[in-house]
């Protein structure tokens, strides 16, 4: 039995980032940029107005003999259009936010600082003297042509997508999205829409893992349920090896019908089996047909927790991420952990920020079949090997499952 740390290291050692592909911009959310993005144009591409107002010569804005300057309005320019004439001395042009500053004008005054006769007024009074460049957004103020605006390795979020659209990247080079096969095993497992016959339970793991895989940024493919026979597993694995990663649940323990390891030795190899942890001791990792295989335990809580600790980092590494692990923080365990186990214990908890510290409250019965103990949990409190005890109010480390990886 190996430690959690050794298991993670041995798994990640075997995982490489997938190849690079071009993807439509709108599909790039959550993926990792595979090239630097260099602006090919100045942005904004032209000097434009930051306000609705009037474009004029700044020296025309000075009051004369104690009266506000009064200028003749020669026309207007809306966003998306270009002025068809110059702004001459003694004149002004109506201008809208985002419209190119017309030639001749060196400043813009916002409409709130002017008086006029309404939208068609042929004159405007300038109520405040303005300096050159006022309310003008110069060309290239956001990005200069040739400037690197995004670095390869960046995770693409909505704001990065906005910048990619700004520079006109309709297709984006990214590390391709991993395709992950999800296989549930067990003669007792039936699909979610089936009536429960005696001895049967529903395939919660398949759906849970599919969702967790999608949340990790990969594309899950649910292969359904394999029976606890070598033949059924062989058939399912012949399909599974078409994917980048295989995640199974169940069938990796020491029971008479736990045959996943048999298939792994028959068709590939086992790198390790069993981790000194709870929940989730029977985890197997290896390869089948060159495809990494993470064999997770059947108990739903174990499958969920071991996916978070091992499956998610694997997927992130395949996606090209460099930050693979959730942050650990110090928490005060309000209710403590009464149960003493010799293995490393990951206790589901809800962590909140209260009175200047993080407070963890465990989610009740921590049995690995208690799926409701996952509900409302946003953290795993770590209890060290050897039967360590956490009394109410003790400090402990917690892995924050809803914080981004560091
Ligand atoms: P196993 O690791 O195959 O011995 O399974 C351990 C426990 O997890 C058993 O009680 C199984 O019935 C249960 N289990 C296995 N697979 C699933 C699944 N896909 N959904 C829900 N429970 C499962
Ligand atoms: Mg089983």
At residue 82, φ and ψ (nearest 5 deg) are -120, 135
Q: List, for residues 156-215, the tens digit of each pLDDT value.
A: 999 999 999 999 999 999 999 999 999 999 999 999 999 999 999 999 999 999 999 999
Model pTM? 0.92
**Cα-to-centroid distance, 286 and ligand 1 (Å):** 20
**From the alpha carbon of 251, which atom of ligand 1 is closest?**
3
Residue to mutate (ligand 1; options 199, 201, 202, 262; most atoms within 8 A of CB)? 201
**Cα-to-centroid distance, 256 and ligand 2 (Å):** 9
Q: List, for residues 45-83, the tens digit of each pLDDT value.
A: 999 999 999 999 999 999 999 999 999 999 999 999 999
Average pLDDT over residues 321-349: 96
Give the ligand whose atoms come closest to the C-alpha of residue 248: 1
pLDDT at 359: 98
Q: List, for residues 97-114, the tens digit of each pLDDT value.
A: 999 999 999 999 999 999
CB 328 within 8 A of CB 397: yes
**Cα-to-centroid distance, 262 and ligand 1 (Å):** 18
| Dihedral-angle region of residue 146 (phi above 0 means left; psi in -120 to 50 means alpha; beta otherwise) | left
Name the residue with the closest Cα to ligand 1, atom 3. 250
Pocket of ligand 1 (CB under 6 A): 184, 186, 188-189, 201, 203-206, 249-251, 253, 255, 258, 297-300
Range 370-391 burial, b when 16+ CB lie within 10 A, else e: beebeeebbbbbbbeeeebebe
**Cα-to-centroid distance, 14 and ligand 1 (Å):** 27
d(CA 330, CA 368): 24
Closest of 236, 247, 276 to residue 15, by C-alpha: 247
Sign of CA dihedral 11, 178, 406, 312: negative
pLDDT at 275: 98
């Amino acid at each position: 039995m190996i430690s959690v740390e050794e298991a993670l290291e041995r798994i990640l050692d075997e995982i490489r980032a997938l190849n690079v592909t071009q993807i439509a911009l709108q599909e790039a959310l959550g993926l990792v940029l595979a090239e630097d993005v260099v602006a090919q144009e100045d942005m904004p591409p032209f000097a434009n107005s930051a306000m609705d107002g009037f474009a004029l010569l700044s020296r025309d804005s000075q009051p004369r003999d104690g009266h506000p300057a009064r200028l003749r309005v020669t026309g207007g320019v809306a966003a998306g259009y270009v002025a068809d004439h110059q702004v001459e001395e003694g004149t002004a042009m109506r201008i809208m936010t985002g419209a190119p500053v017309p030639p001749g004008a060196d400043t813009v005054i916002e409409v709130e600082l002017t008086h006029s006769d309404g939208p068609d007024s042929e004159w405007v009074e300038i109520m405040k003297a303005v300096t050159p460049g006022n309310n003008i957004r110069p060309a290239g103020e956001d990005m200069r042509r040739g400037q690197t605006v995004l670095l390869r390795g960046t995770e693409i979020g909505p704001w990065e997508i906005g910048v990619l659209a700004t520079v006109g990247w309709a297709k984006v080079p990214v590390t391709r999205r991993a395709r992950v096969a999800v296989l549930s095993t067990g003669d007792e497992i039936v699909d979610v829409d089936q009536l429960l016959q005696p001895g049967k339970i529903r395939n919660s793991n398949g759906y849970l893992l599919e969702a967790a895989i999608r949340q990790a940024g990969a594309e899950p493919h649910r292969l359904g349920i394999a029976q606890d026979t070598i033949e059924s597993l062989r058939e399912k694995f012949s399909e599974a090896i078409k994917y980048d990663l295989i995640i199974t649940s169940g069938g990796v323990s020491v029971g008479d019908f736990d045959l996943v390891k048999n298939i792994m030795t028959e068709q590939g190899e086992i790198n390790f089996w069993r981790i000194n942890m709870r929940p989730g001791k029977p985890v197997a990792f290896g390869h089948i047909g060159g495809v990494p295989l993470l064999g997770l335990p059947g108990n739903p809580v174990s499958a969920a927790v071991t996916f978070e600790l091992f499956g998610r980092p694997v997927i992130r590494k395949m996606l090209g991420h460099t930050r693979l692990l959730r942050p650990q923080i110090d928490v005060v365990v309000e209710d403590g952990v009464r149960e003493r186990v010799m293995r490393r214990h990951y206790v589901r908890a809800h962590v909140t920020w209260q009175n200047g510290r993080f407070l963890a409250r465990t989610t009740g019965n921590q049995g690995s079949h208690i799926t409701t103990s996952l509900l409302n949990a946003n953290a795993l409190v770590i209890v060290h090997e050897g039967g360590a005890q956490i009394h109410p109010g003790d400090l402990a480390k917690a892995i924050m499952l809803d914080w981004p990886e560091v």
